[in-house]
Amino acid sequence: MAVGIFDSGLGGLTVLDAVTRAMPDVPFVYYGDNINTPYGVRDPEDIYDLTTKGVQRLFDAGCNLVILACNTASAAALRRMQEGWVPRDKRVLGVFVPLIESLTERQWGDNSPPREVKVKHVALFATPATVRSRAFQRELAFRAIGVDVEAQSCGGVVDAIEEGDMILAEALVRSHVDALLRKMPDPDAAVLGCTHYPLVEDVFRDALGKDVDVYSQPNLVAASLADYLERHPEMKGEGSESLFLTTGDPLKVSNQATRFLRRKIGFVPA
């Protein structure tokens, strides 16, 4: 009854941590494509090829449902995968929709026409590839009207986090926040559109100020996934054990993951 969690590297561990706490009885199989991280600087075709390869490995591990805990993969590959690649008995879901549903105060599965919502000015912080895709704006337009989105491409932040250089990551976050605030001085809300960013969420909050509502994905995705599995229990696959897979150096990735989650994590080769 395993569920797959896919990410380009370690950022998806923030989602894994949240879903594990929300659903302690569900085994999760995590796949980190650490050898090819970051995805945010890659072209869409490359992202698609890497994502489908990783998701297929999770299907092979007994997962009927895979969560793309990578905003870049969700933005650049998910729709194409759903339209022509995902087998009929499998599901692949992204991480944008739960966040946007929370931002627009809509219930899961609310397919009513888009309407005006409380937030009017949204700051989006994401990888270069996610910003280029405009996937966030597209999904938001399905649910809300009259919302101005200013996107900031946060180059270098994922690399710094993956390398464990949190001093550089903090400096980069503050620089990117400053750049966005020059374009949008008074955002109502800020969206952390990368699953690595919760690891520096406190820096984003401090740089943005207390008047800006910050939306981060892990807990929102966990709540949405729990609701989905309650309604679709058949999507719990045949896998029965939790597993951590990586395309990178298992020892190095295990050490990094243990530092991030502050509990021992052991990766094996994918």
Tell me the catalytic residues: 70, 194
Tokens in use for 42?
């890659």
Report whether 180 contacts 125 (CB < 8 A): yes
Report whether 225 contacts 23 (CB < 8 A): yes
Q: Which residues contact 69 (CB under 8 A, 6 or more apart)?
A: 5, 6, 7, 11, 12, 14, 15, 16, 95, 195, 221
Which residue in the block uniquely carries the two structure tokens 């990783």?
A: 54
Contacts 24+ apart (CB under 8 A), 18-26: 18/218, 18/219, 18/221, 18/222, 19/67, 19/218, 19/221, 19/222, 19/225, 19/226, 21/222, 22/219, 22/222, 22/223, 22/225, 22/226, 23/222, 23/225, 23/226, 23/229, 26/1, 26/2, 26/229, 26/236
Give the side-chain half-sphere CA count within 13 A for 116. 3
